[in-house]
Structure 1
């Protein structure tokens, strides 16, 4: 081997160039190989990370719904990636594998780090990347772990080493040029990719794409993978945007619906459904606000408690439709009597209304409003071609004189209302202290009345009825009495209206009917004319659906002749809802009962019902009999009633006969029957049976007058 100095310059230059180029090529090849291997390593890491992220996005929904089969199918799709040898899904809080995929050619594999390690972990043979899974509501579901084989990486090392050696041996003289070229070929695409990644990171624009390389090398795969990753992210963001838009739209709509529903529920919570007036809760709330304002400004308030007279009778007789229509009309008329929005009209329930008058100058102004209300309700309401009349009873309490809180003012106004009812109804009364005592007494009597049936405190008394022509007893009217341990013998005028208001008149009336029929059976004697018994029917009884069944059952149980039972009805009872009344009366007649009209002449002026209804008897009210021998008008009316009844083939009973002169006139007018203190006062059953043993000689009384 020649020494270097002995070589020619050409060889030296050649040797130097060769050595230089070889060294440059060696270093360049080495640098290229190292750089490329680093890029490959990064590409593998990025690839496994991208695959993990994309797979996590696609399986989260399935894991959320425990869909093992679909999750496994999605994992099996990783078979298209040669580097992926193992994929496992762990669902929180379980520690076992929820779903997995393992390349068939791979041997038994194990993770190189816990699945909770959410970072890239590498070993000599494998790369591992773990990704947490979240539900659409961002609830933690578990983890996805991918394991990639690094063998392709080592294969690349061998290939590049061989290529580098061949290039060094064969192309040493082109090392410099080739190294420069290789540097450009390798680094330029990576730099392009890096710049694109930086731009995407800054602009957050996942619609950008890097132009693919015409070659089919790893750089092209990396470009394609990068573009695929951007496409996946863009698609994910698009779906998220659509989902968010839909969610926002749904939230907006639901919020609007909830606001609307909340307003509706709030309105319903504070208003009466039938009349749309404020209810008790809203009235109390407004009253409390008004009281606070009045205290601060030294003002006077008035609270009116309004109860509709005879509303229950109208509601029970004509039905709830008529009652509801009446309440709606009353509400409109009450509103017309107030200063809105300063005053408040409320419906507490049933036929009870309250009115709050703010800043009245003096209590007399409340009386003016009460009179206006009474006047406004005077006009009748038409319902199905029938006129309905309603009157109010109004109680008034004044702030601060009658109370300084809502409860006290309402209680005292209610007490004033009961005073108005007791004093004739259709009027108003201011609260006075004694009203509370009266209300307490009424409540006590109501409680005792409820116990009276159970404790057998009621009695049936009987007032005899005489045949004026024959002068003999033909029967008696049954009258209920209440012998209370606390109140002694309570007059009917005190407890009958209370029983009507509370509905207790229904069981009381049934008991009276059964008791009177039982007693009537004891009066009958062989060989003598039968004695009848007359029983009053209340309005509440008459409209009961089981009235006919009840009466028929009582008569059947006692084996009583129904012709001996007379049922007394008032004109005010039978006139409303005349068609239904007619059917009921016909049914009673078919059962064999006698029907009479009590207090005739004091109710409806129309006489057409006498022709239509199957009435047997008219009972002339005692108000016409009282001054019969002193008042020519009463005499004229009584003779007219008797004459009319005779023409209609009806019998007549004169009530309240107390003097012989009255009896004599009635005999002259050819009245059929007489009933009153002259003939006999109401008496207990035992006394009446004794009375039947020695009856009064009615003819002798009339002869004495003559």
Structure 2
């Protein structure tokens, strides 16, 4: 254990010892009042007798005139029961001291309905009559919560107390007599315990309410329900509830005490079920729990109408079922390794002991004492504390589980990219070398179309296990998780891609050799249900050097993987250089360049092969900022597509092209066309044709001088949208060109379904046209077919005069390529149009 952790643990132990010291001090100051009743503290002698009136018809006069009815025995021998009957208790007092004694008689049953106390002299004449009980009116809160009477016994005198107990339900009423001082000690001790109990429970309820609002877990609401119902129940049994609730509420709770017992039992079982997550399992134990909860709810509601003496025995039967059900639920989870439930299991120990002591004390099996009287309260207090610890342990476990799911793939249980990022950042903070090594199962996504997802995950785990074993022999690969005994070096990035980190500073060729050795030992075949899959692997390497950008580091690794596909050795490295990071920051600069007109259109001329005159040009996007010279336009367009600014960029290009068309007309080039490229992403622009029309109107540009070249990707992704767009553009007079003709899968069908005005043959057929008879046939056939369909045709990629002459012989309409000119900025393009010297020499014999 680390020294720092040890210090914190030592501090926690010291705090625990200090807390126990406080508890011990408090307990020493809480006296046990039943040890200091008046017969033990003064020369006061007591005699006991009782009579049980089963008919409930006897009056005071009947009892007092028939002493033979009495049973002379201590009150502890009274056979208390839930049967509706009256109890007459006789207590003879004799003060043999030479002093008057102020006596307090305490009747420790605040749930009694009616307590009538007759104080008699030695001649059985009534000195005073007292009325107590929760059915009596106009008592003080103190009299309700602590039923008692005060009276004076003169020296050398005798008195008799006759107590009539008339109640439904719990009738046992312990009676103790105290001097004033001892009674005050009783109140101090009792109030202290009540205050601690109520304070702890209310704070626990508030704390768990805060947790509920933060975590949104219903188990905290159930726990709060248990706390409140326990507070109500103990407030009834011990009497302190009169200080917690309005008087009318507390009296109502008193009269429906069995309902409170059902509420405690209901929330106990509900908490057990939800805490142990049976509501997620939906097994037969959950069904059993639900059935018992419904039973307790129904009986609890019925207890509003059933007399207490009938409802109480029924509740004790249900309580037995509760213990059995909870035992089944807890036992199952303990067997399945629910390690975080230990505090919850411990919480049942004080609950069971306290729940046993209370009914045994109430029924007379256990002698009454201050300790037994408050045993259930202390038990619930201990249980609440342990349950709070159990909830905290549960939160800790859920956090660990959430962290596990956040750092592992759900299906393969391997570390994921989040853990890879943590390891990367940790190594970066230590200024260690971090070279990302990606290993991919070739064509894994294609394999997923013929195997099930489960089989795919099994394959990944099989490869990962072998790969992990190979990496263990190479010490340069970092452990991604040091807290585990197996110290894995591999992360699963999904789609058959694995990642590891090399921390050794070395030449990339050496690392390639090491990785090539690793994958040479990986399985080359994998059998699934008789099918032997052939497995190959590619490797991508990305070195971070001074960069601490994980996403960039990972992106370059994927780019290297992509490059590795075309290599013989299937290994590629994407070394870090000064290239601009393709990220959101660059996209923001690009968007700013669009809004501030920092972009430019370059124009590559298109030549009429009949007269070698420029008839139009293709507009090509450029970013003339020196900072971004090394970024290809294809990368910028890809970035624009990925970040959602492609439509903004396209509309800028169209508007700039229209401006240049107008300038060309003003310069005397009245029939000069400009072609703009459209891709599939551009089709997402709402009302694109309408926006193009508005741009044409805004700049007064003739529609027939604007062309749109559509690539096949647009046709594949959005055919229905594209048919409508082509029709709308044609209706405006705009010419639509089918670009890269001959390279697609269904270009011929496009000629039938769309209103094109022109075809553009892809340069892949043109580079070697002179020496490739097959390409000559394709180009000639395309030209003839276009002419028969009343379409003009443009051929791009013309770089030699031989190809130029051959295309003229094939009757091609227009040509485009480096032979004539590269793409030029607009001012240079205007100068090119003015001279066209190079074009005049095309048909020269020189």
| Aligned residue runs from structure 1 range 101-500, under 5 A | 101-102=136-137, 136-137=229-230, 140-141=234-235, 143-144=238-239, 234-235=313-314, 237-245=316-324, 269=406, 280=416, 284=420, 303-304=437-438, 306=440, 336=459, 339=462, 342=465, 348=493, 353-354=497-498, 363-368=515-520, 394-396=539-541, 415-421=556-562, 430=571, 435-438=574-577, 441-443=579-581, 447-448=585-586, 450-455=588-593, 456-488=597-629, 491-492=632-633, 495-497=636-638, 499=640
Deviation digits for residues 298-343 of structure 1 (CA, Å, limit 9, x no counterpart): xxx995255999x9xxxxxxxxxxx999799899668647635615
Deviation digits for residues 612-654 of structure 1 (CA, Å, limit 9, x no counterpart): 3333222222343333344444333321221122223221112
> SS of the residue aligned with 1:441?
coil
Q: Distance in 1 between matches of 2:517 and 2:795?
A: 48
**Alpha-carbon shift at residue 486 of structure 1 (Å):** 2.4
Deviation digits for residues 355-414 of structure 1 (CA, Å, limit 9, x no counterpart): 5799x99632444589969xx9xxxxxxxxxxxxxx9974158xxxx89xxx99998776
| Aligned residue runs from structure 1 range 533-552, under 5 A | 533-542=674-683, 547-548=688-689, 550-552=691-693
Q: Distance in 2 between matches of 1:353 and 1:683?
A: 43
- Asked whether 1:86 is paired with 2:209, we answer no
Shift of the 486–361 alpha-carbon distance from structure 1 to 2, 3 Å rule, reads closer
Residues 617, 653 of structure 1: 8 Å contact kept: yes
TM (normalized to structure 1)?
0.54
Could you tell me which residue of structure 2 aligns to residue 522 of structure 1? 663
Residues 580, 628 of structure 2: 8 Å contact kept: no
Q: Distance in 2 between matches of 1:410 and 1:369?
A: 30
Q: Distance in 2 between matches of 1:623 and 1:232?
A: 93
Shift of the 685–232 alpha-carbon distance from structure 1 to 2, 3 Å rule, reads closer
Q: Distance in 1 between matches of 2:810 and 2:752?
A: 22
Could you tell me which residue of structure 2 aligns to residue 39 of structure 1? 71
**Alpha-carbon shift at residue 674 of structure 1 (Å):** 1.7
Q: Distance in 2 between matches of 1:523 and 1:54?
A: 117
Q: Distance in 1 between matches of 2:496 and 2:86?
A: 71
Q: Distance in 2 between matches of 1:243 and 1:612?
A: 75
Residues 392, 426 of structure 1: 8 Å contact kept: no
Could you tell me which residue of structure 2 aligns to residue 387 of structure 1? none
**Alpha-carbon shift at residue 465 of structure 1 (Å):** 1.7
**Alpha-carbon shift at residue 475 of structure 1 (Å):** 1.8
Could you tell me which residue of structure 1 aligns to residue 825 of structure 2? 684
> Does 43-52 or 665-674 show the bigger shift?
43-52
**Alpha-carbon shift at residue 589 of structure 1 (Å):** 3.6
Shift of the 595–338 alpha-carbon distance from structure 1 to 2, 3 Å rule, reads farther
Could you tell me which residue of structure 2 aligns to residue 704 of structure 1? 844
Shift of the 546–647 alpha-carbon distance from structure 1 to 2, 3 Å rule, reads same
Shift of the 230–528 alpha-carbon distance from structure 1 to 2, 3 Å rule, reads closer
Residues 506, 540 of structure 1: 8 Å contact kept: yes
- Asked whether 1:617 is paired with 2:758, we answer yes
Q: Distance in 1 between matches of 2:660 and 2:423?
A: 57
Could you tell me which residue of structure 1 aligns to residue 749 of structure 2? 608
Q: 2:814 aligns with which of 664, 667, 673?
A: 673
**Alpha-carbon shift at residue 417 of structure 1 (Å):** 3.5
Q: Distance in 1 between matches of 2:451 and 2:418?
A: 19
Shift of the 540–461 alpha-carbon distance from structure 1 to 2, 3 Å rule, reads same
**Alpha-carbon shift at residue 558 of structure 1 (Å):** 3.4
Residues 540, 558 of structure 2: 8 Å contact kept: yes
> Which has the bigger relative contact order, CA under 8 A and spacing at least 6?
1
Q: Distance in 2 between matches of 1:544 and 1:693?
A: 37
Could you tell me which residue of structure 2 aligns to residue 316 of structure 1? none
Q: Distance in 2 between matches of 1:679 and 1:588?
A: 30
Q: Distance in 1 between matches of 2:518 and 2:418?
A: 21
- Asked whether 1:657 is paired with 2:798, we answer yes
**Alpha-carbon shift at residue 284 of structure 1 (Å):** 4.6
Residues 120, 127 of structure 1: 8 Å contact kept: no
Residues 461, 481 of structure 1: 8 Å contact kept: yes
> SS of the residue aligned with 1:530?
coil
Residues 484, 490 of structure 1: 8 Å contact kept: no
Residues 278, 347 of structure 1: 8 Å contact kept: yes
Q: Distance in 2 between matches of 1:527 and 1:513?
A: 21
Q: Distance in 2 between matches of 1:689 and 1:672?
A: 23
**Alpha-carbon shift at residue 655 of structure 1 (Å):** 1.3
Deviation digits for residues 396-437 of structure 1 (CA, Å, limit 9, x no counterpart): 58xxxx89xxx99998776443234357768876575xx342
Shift of the 524–394 alpha-carbon distance from structure 1 to 2, 3 Å rule, reads farther
Q: Distance in 2 between matches of 1:576 and 1:75?
A: 79
**Alpha-carbon shift at residue 354 of structure 1 (Å):** 2.7
Q: Distance in 1 between matches of 2:644 and 2:539?
A: 22
Q: Distance in 1 between matches of 2:76 and 2:815?
A: 123
> SS of the residue aligned with 2:627?
coil
Shift of the 244–576 alpha-carbon distance from structure 1 to 2, 3 Å rule, reads same
Could you tell me which residue of structure 2 aligns to residue 507 of structure 1? 648
> SS of the residue aligned with 1:524?
helix
Residues 115, 131 of structure 2: 8 Å contact kept: no
Q: Distance in 2 between matches of 1:642 and 1:415?
A: 43
Q: Distance in 2 between matches of 1:109 and 1:338?
A: 76
Q: Distance in 1 between matches of 2:438 and 2:118?
A: 91
> Does 655-664 or 409-418 show the bigger shift?
409-418
Root-mean-square deviation (CA, aligned residues, Å) is 6.1
**Alpha-carbon shift at residue 534 of structure 1 (Å):** 0.4
Q: Distance in 2 between matches of 1:308 and 1:511?
A: 41
Residues 618, 650 of structure 1: 8 Å contact kept: yes
> SS of the residue aligned with 1:602?
coil
**Alpha-carbon shift at residue 79 of structure 1 (Å):** 9.4
Could you tell me which residue of structure 2 aligns to residue 598 of structure 1? 739
Q: Distance in 1 between matches of 2:455 and 2:829?
A: 55
Q: Distance in 1 between matches of 2:112 and 2:653?
A: 91
**Alpha-carbon shift at residue 451 of structure 1 (Å):** 0.9
Residues 657, 675 of structure 1: 8 Å contact kept: yes
Residues 769, 776 of structure 2: 8 Å contact kept: yes
**Alpha-carbon shift at residue 507 of structure 1 (Å):** 3.3
Structure 1 portions without partners, runs of 5+: 1-31, 56-73, 90-99, 103-107, 146-227, 292-300, 312-322, 377-390
**Alpha-carbon shift at residue 461 of structure 1 (Å):** 0.9
Give the length in aligned residue pairs.
507
**Alpha-carbon shift at residue 672 of structure 1 (Å):** 0.8
